[in-house]
Chains A and B, each alone.
Chain A
Amino acid sequence: MNRLEELFTRKKSNVLNVFCTAGFPQLNSTWEVMKALQDNGADIIELGMPYSDPLADGPVIQASNTKALQNGMTMQLLFEQLRDFRKEIYVPVILMGNINPVLQFGFENFCKQAASLPVDGIILPDLPEYEFENEYGAIIKRYGLDFIFLITPETSEERIKKLDTLSTGFLYVVSSSSTTGNKKDFTEVEKYLQRLQNMQLKNSLIVGFGIKDKSTFQSACKYANGAVIGTAYIKALENATDIQSATKAFLSSIIN
């Protein structure tokens, strides 16, 4: 059983996934951020691989990408930073990013390195399902990595079923059609989540986009297995002098 399966077998609700851009706020803070997240209650860590042109992200996460790149973050460096991280980090870790840097690194090489660390899964929102089925899915499987697909309120029922079949690890439920960090009316989101709950999907559901505090986290968790927080945590780190205490304060405001 891999780490994600183990997690969702053990914990079926209120799973807290926290996103942070690798190399942010400082070039070498990646490990410290992960440690702080794990120590203070994050169940999954999603590490963003910074990109110059992150299309699906709002201004806060974009700015963290720019900062990380200015700090000197690269894919190669990320893998070096993560070497031996399993000595301290036992929660599932997912790499998330845009397809282009992964293609330049070499898709297979990327999977190989990711699996050797090991991280548990990858999310590449701009790798479409057709390309996945045609070419990349087989490579991902060969290295035993989970590949997590996104669905949105605009995704048809038929397509949700298809993406649920292809997705392993969990299904990433984008709460509203928006770039990250955009606020939308949460009652609409609840209706959508209820609809999903009734579909009896194979994967656990993790809700993302627009989860920013205790109340949105709890609402999301009413109908899903958990939620991802990204923008709000990046904001908390932006002004932090001490990563440990900022993370502790932020996470306790969500789960306590």
Chain B
Amino acid sequence: MVQTIIPNNKGTYKQPNIFGYYGNFGGAYIPEMLHRNVEELRDNYLKIMYDEAFQKEFQNLLHDYAGRPTPLFFAERLSNQFNTKIYLKREDLNHTGAHKINNAIGQVLLALRLGKKRIIAETGAGQHGVATATVCALKGLECIVYMGVKDMERQQPNVARMRMLGAEVRPATSGSQTLKDATNEAIRDWINNPNDTHYVIGSVVGPHPYPDMVARFQSVISEEIKKQLKEKTGSELPNYVMACVGGGSNAAGAFYHFLDDLSVQLVAVEAAGCGINSGMSAATTQLGKPGVLHGSKSLVMQTADGQVVEPHSISAGLDYPGIGPLHAHLYESGRAKFLSATDKEAVEAAFNLTKMEGIIPALESSHALAALNQMRFKKDDVVVICLSGRGDKDMSTYMKYMNEL
């Protein structure tokens, strides 16, 4: 299962080179204080992940605990609306309500095998924090979750869930008080606790090997899509796979097993916030330039002077000024198409899905749904949308819009 590593290449879509590069993006831009921890992870992650006993435990938990495989649902009324065939990959039906649990289970099991006793995580929407706190409760591990103060306010139900699960939620008070700042605090915590702590990063960001490791843990999404499509349509290949991108983990998972199937058009949807040119946006590929953020070289929203810009999105999970290096590479190489949806479009798409299919989606996932309006499909096209999470956490935001729409 472990793929051979070819030095001095530029990496493939599925696998970065030994220094963690996908094309021009990736690497491990970390201070020496993190070197040993990151090196330990880099030297062990593939060995551990593809160890038979590990795989058995991981697959069992995905099945019996997270509830996988998640359904691939043919959304008939939505399909009629867009005059094509739309399938929803129901990551929202996972335990804890989003795809984040796939990665949290994987990384916590991996941390246990590395002998770590203490787990830290950052969270934006709170879904990754809840998922990590959940697996820590399951395994009896100490769990500390960093969360921006602004996000603690707009995702209150998830803060309560994390606390009930026994995690300590530490507010990140610097900068924009959102995901970027929570990530800074988590990295600082790791620097200060170099021996007993594993940092469970929640997306395909961070220094090598995180982007690759998280993509592999999330790749179960596309593995299942292939099987399910084959059963339902006779072909394992759709015409389109669409997913929202914050850091890019649900998109990486939904794209992964299609990366080398060039007939499959991959569509990544970023958060345009109040509009790409409004000064309040989080559409990184549109607004960003190559730079280094949180340990890897990627596209980063920044000033001409290299200061990281504070992004804006209505959805806490997409409110991040970077994207994972794999996605920067997919963008630069043209392998994936990058679109964006505004706050308003996302909310409208959420109400539309609820009305048409009886599914209340997370605000993040609603961005992928909103991009349907920007696509031109043929009647027989098969379109898979990764419905990364459910909308329970976003009810207070949705309620505000109830009367306006």
Chain A residues engaging chain B, CB cutoff 8 angstroms = 51-53, 55-56, 58, 62, 66, 69, 74-76, 98-105, 125-128, 130-131, 149-152, 154-156, 159, 163, 174, 177-179, 182
In the complex, A53→B308 CA distance in Å? Answer: 7
Candidates B28, B33, B192, B293; contact of A100 at CB < 8 Å: B293
Q: Is A177 a contact of B191 with CB atoms below 8 Å? A: yes
Q: Is A154 a contact of B36 with CB atoms below 8 Å? A: yes
In the complex, A62→B172 CA distance in Å? Answer: 13
Tier of interface size on chain B: 20 to 34
Q: Which of B296-354 contact A (CB under 8 A)?
A: 300, 302, 304-308
Q: Is A179 a contact of B308 with CB atoms below 8 Å? A: no
User: Counting CB contacts under 8 A, is B19 at the interface?
Assistant: yes
Q: Mark B149-188, 1 if CB is under 8 A from A, else 0.
A: 0000000000000000000000000110000100010011
Residues of chain B with a CB closer than 8 A to A99's CB:
29, 292
Q: Which 3 A-B pairs have the closest CB atoms?
A: A104-B306, A101-B306, A125-B31
Q: Is B32 a contact of A100 with CB atoms below 8 Å? A: no
Residues of chain B with a CB closer than 8 A to A69's CB:
307
Q: Is A56 a contact of B191 with CB atoms below 8 Å? A: yes
Most buried by A among B33, B188, B304: B33
Residues of chain B with a CB closer than 8 A to A163's CB:
32
Q: Is A179 a contact of B191 with CB atoms below 8 Å? A: yes
Q: Is B30 a contact of A52 with CB atoms below 8 Å? A: no
User: Counting CB contacts under 8 A, is B279 at the interface?
Assistant: no
In the complex, A96→B154 CA distance in Å? Answer: 37
Residues of chain B with a CB closer than 8 A to A104's CB:
289, 291, 302, 304-306
Candidates B33, B36, B180; contact of A178 at CB < 8 Å: B33
Q: Knowing A69-B307, A154-B36 touch, does A52 contact B175 (C-beta < 8 A)? A: yes
27 contacts between A and B (CB under 8 A): A51-B307, A52-B308, A53-B293, A55-B31, A75-B306, A100-B293, A100-B308, A101-B307, A104-B302, A104-B306, A125-B31, A125-B32, A126-B31, A128-B27, A128-B28, A152-B32, A152-B194, A154-B36, A154-B37, A155-B36, A163-B32, A177-B191, A177-B194, A178-B33, A178-B192, A179-B188, A179-B192
In the complex, A151→B307 CA distance in Å? Answer: 26
Candidates A75, A101, A155; contact of B35 at CB < 8 Å: A155
Q: Is B306 a contact of A55 with CB atoms below 8 Å? A: no
In the complex, A126→B35 CA distance in Å? Answer: 10
Closest beta carbon of chain B to A62's beta carbon, Å: 7
Q: Is the interface of B mostly helix, strand, loop or mixed?
A: mixed
Residues of chain A with a CB closer than 8 A to B29's CB:
99, 126-128, 131
Q: Which residue of A lies closest to B292 (CB)?
A: A100
Q: Which residue of B lies closest to A153 (CB)?
A: B194
Closest beta carbon of chain A to B124's beta carbon, Å: 16
Q: Is B188 a contact of A55 with CB atoms below 8 Å? A: yes
In the complex, A182→B188 CA distance in Å? Answer: 11
Residues of chain A with a CB closer than 8 A to B27's CB:
128, 130-131
Residues of chain A with a CB closer than 8 A to B290's CB:
103
Residues of chain B with a CB closer than 8 A to A66's CB:
174
Residues of chain A with a CB closer than 8 A to B19's CB:
130
Residues of chain B with a CB closer than 8 A to A174's CB:
32-33
Q: Which of B262-290 contact A (CB under 8 A)?
A: 289-290
Q: Is A100 a contact of B191 with CB atoms below 8 Å? A: no
In the complex, A174→B308 CA distance in Å? Answer: 26
Q: Which residue of B lies closest to A174 (CB)?
A: B33
Q: Mark B22-60, 1 if CB is under 8 A from A, else 0.
A: 000001111111011100000000000000000000000
In the complex, A154→B37 CA distance in Å? Answer: 9
Q: Is B32 a contact of A75 with CB atoms below 8 Å? A: no
Q: Which residue of B lies closest to A49 (CB)?
A: B306
Q: Is A178 a contact of B191 with CB atoms below 8 Å? A: yes
Residues of chain A with a CB closer than 8 A to B194's CB:
152, 154, 177
